[in-house]
């Protein structure tokens, strides 16, 4: 998709031997960065958490060093300006940033007010203000929502309003910091489409920071810059990069079809254009992939345990006549690790609130170990069913790790001696025992996630419900959290339900999934069958796995079995590495 202006003129962004160290840190976060971005290019920057991706964004938009002080060396030029000299306000005329947490960007009480905010600050004439708001709302597809409050919007709609809020200033550069982290697969796909269209039609220069590489590559990008430990270790076209092992070695997930072709013993060539499975030349790899499929045997396993949880004909409405859940029925066996999936607003979180007792069903019943749990209070249910929210910051209320993990026991009047024993045991299981006397503030996001899980585990629950356990995590931290949960499932026999938008998580770590769409149960099947069923994927706004497309292009008649063997093969590899 190389823009005609990309190869001519001076770069619109240029880092020259640029380094930066935050004031509070001993080591530089960015080390000798050399990066050129030309007008009209779309660049993806990826790499493990903490490698410096977001710091690059903060340098470009002027937050560094004005709001985030530190030591800089080398040169940085953005639109011919030095961000250090221009400051945040000066750079805002040229650079627009869309944050991962879109809620943190809203100013107005309605969509129209939010889009008009910067124009009002510039004292634009009212006629011009209305014209620009209408124009931008049309570009981002929100012209019918101008009177809506931001709180009434879905995740994808909020993302669109955030884009509109920066487009209204007619900036030259758009920065997207993990735009897909909190979106369901279909909404993420729509977002990638919109970013691509804005880049092409509005002649914008776009930089995307994202872990979900395969999802971003749904539309072309000009280059991918891979970062690790503060350095750019690769800056290549997608076709070149996907033929190397740089992503896997850095801890970034490759597209699944690329990994599958490599499992078959193939060396992928750039001239076969692996950026998209739809347009990739599969012919040189077809036979090896078919042979790998035929030779890979995965043992079948069945869970015949008694039911831990039974949902029977459950319905619920927040407002009478507007059902959020309608006649939902499914069961969960003891020791199962199961996914609950569906688009934003499908009723997944409402279902978990009903199970935990935060809400009461209008109809139907919920059984725990065969007993109706309706008579149990929230406190009584909390001793058997633990709920871990998406953000650990929503759950943590004590400054020290041991205090936080022992809080649930303390409020129940358990003796200090028993609290200490149980807390230390759980912290050991969670790999946090050496940090037991640390302040929570000293932990990374992934470690805080473990603390929130530990605070539930210390209650010895039978069932653990997790809301988006891996949102915003790079592949290494994602794997760390999921392997930890798998260990709890295997070693402790814990029954785990995961509410997730992550189709990779569903495929890799669960043997069964229930799909909700418009408040109804659409499917209850294996992840492989769900993600190779185009009708189900479309209705539930899921993303059909690229393994399905690879199987089709290789002439494999059983795409769901191909997916099963790929997942089983990956699991065996992980177990062998433990």
Mean pLDDT by 10 residues, the chain (578 residues): 47 97 88 96 91 92 93 96 94 89 80 90 88 90 90 80 86 90 78 90 93 91 96 97 94 93 96 95 97 89 90 93 92 95 83 93 95 92 88 85 93 93 90 88 76 89 89 74 85 90 86 92 92 86 88 93 91 78
Burial 259-286, CB ≥16 within 10 A → b, else e: bbbbbbebebebebebbbbeebebeebb
Question: The pTM is what?
Answer: 0.82
pLDDT given at position 153: 82
Q: pLDDT tens across 135-167, in order? A: 889 888 889 899 998 888 877 788 888 888 888
Q: Measured in Å, how far apart are the chain's first and last C-alpha atoms?
A: 42
CB of 337 closer than 8 Å to CB of 493: no
pLDDT given at position 553: 96
Centre a 10 Å sphere on the Cβ of residue 141 and count the other Cβ atoms it contains. Answer: 16
Q: pLDDT tens across 527-538, in order? A: 989 988 888 888
CA distance 447 to 430: 9
Half-sphere exposure of 277 (CA within 13 A, CB side): 23
pLDDT given at position 8: 47
Centre a 10 Å sphere on the Cβ of residue 304 and count the other Cβ atoms it contains. Answer: 5
């Amino acid at each position: 998709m190389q823009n005609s202006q990309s190869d001519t003129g001076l770069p619109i962004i240029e880092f020259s031997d640029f380094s930066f160290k935050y004031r509070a840190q001993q080591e530089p976060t960015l080390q000798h960065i050399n990066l050129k971005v030309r007008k009209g290019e779309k660049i993806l920057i990826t790499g493990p958490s903490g490698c410096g991706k977001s710091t690059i964004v903060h340098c470009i938009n002027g937050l560094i060093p004005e709001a985030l002080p530190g030591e800089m060396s080398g040169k940085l030029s953005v639109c011919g300006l030095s961000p250090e000299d221009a400051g945040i306000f000066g750079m805002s005329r040229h650079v627009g940033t869309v944050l991962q947490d879109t809620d943190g960007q809203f100013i107005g009480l309605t969509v129209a007010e939010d889009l008009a905010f910067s124009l009002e600050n510039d004292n634009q004439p009212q006629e011009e203000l209305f014209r620009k708001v209408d124009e931008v709302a049309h570009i981002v597809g929100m012209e019918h929502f101008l009177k809506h409050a931001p709180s009434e919007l879905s995740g994808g709609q909020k993302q669109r309003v955030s884009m509109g809020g920066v487009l209204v200033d007619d900036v030259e550069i758009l920065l997207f910091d993990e735009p897909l982290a909190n979106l369901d697969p279909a909404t993420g796909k729509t977002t990638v489409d919109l970013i691509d269209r804005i880049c092409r039609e509005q002649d914008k220069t776009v930089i995307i920071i994202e872990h979900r590489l395969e999802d971003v590559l749904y539309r072309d990008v000009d280059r991918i810059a891979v970062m690790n430990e503060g350095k750019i270790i690769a800056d290549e076209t997608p076709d070149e990069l996907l033929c190397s092992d740089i992503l896997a070695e850095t801890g970034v997930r490759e597209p699944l079809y690329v990994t599958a072709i490599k499992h078959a013993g193939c060396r992928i060539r750039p001239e076969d254009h692996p950026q998209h499975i739809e347009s990739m030349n599969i012919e040189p790899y077809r036979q090896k992939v078919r042979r790998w499929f035929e030779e890979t045997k995965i043992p079948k396993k069945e869970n015949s345990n008694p039911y831990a949880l039974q949902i029977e004909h459950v319905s619920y409405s927040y407002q009478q006549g507007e059902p959020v859940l309608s006649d939902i029925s499914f069961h969960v066996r003891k020791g199962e690790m199961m996914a609950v999936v569906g688009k934003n607003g499908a009723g997944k979180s409402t279902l978990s609130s009903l199970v935990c007792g935060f809400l009461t069903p209008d109809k139907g019943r919920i059984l725990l170990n065969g007993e109706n749990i309706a008579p149990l209070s929230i406190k009584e249910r909390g001793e058997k069913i633990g709920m871990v929210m998406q953000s650990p910051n929503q759950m943590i209320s004590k400054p020290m790790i041991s205090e936080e993990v022992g809080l649930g026991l303390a409020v129940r009047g358990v003796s200090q001696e028993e609290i200490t024993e149980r807390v230390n045991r759980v912290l050991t299981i969670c790999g946090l025992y050496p940090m037991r006397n640390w302040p929570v503030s000293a932990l990374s996001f992934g470690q805080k996630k473990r603390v929130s899980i530990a605070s539930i585990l210390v209650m010895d629950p039978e069932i653990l419900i997790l809301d988006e356990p891996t949102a915003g995590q790079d592949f290494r931290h994602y794997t760390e959290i999921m392997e930890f949960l798998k260990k709890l499932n295997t070693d402790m026999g814990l029954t785990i339900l995961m509410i997730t938008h992550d189709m990779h998580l569903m495929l890799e770590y669960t043997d069964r999934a229930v799909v909700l769409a418009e408040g109804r149960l659409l499917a209850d099947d294996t992840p492989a069958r769900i993600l190779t069923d185009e009708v189900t994927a479309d209705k539930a706004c899921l993303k059909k796995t690229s393994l399905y497309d690879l199987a089709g292009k290789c002439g494999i008649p059983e795409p769901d079995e191909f997916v099963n063997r790929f997942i089983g093969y990956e699991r065996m590899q992980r177990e062998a590495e433990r």
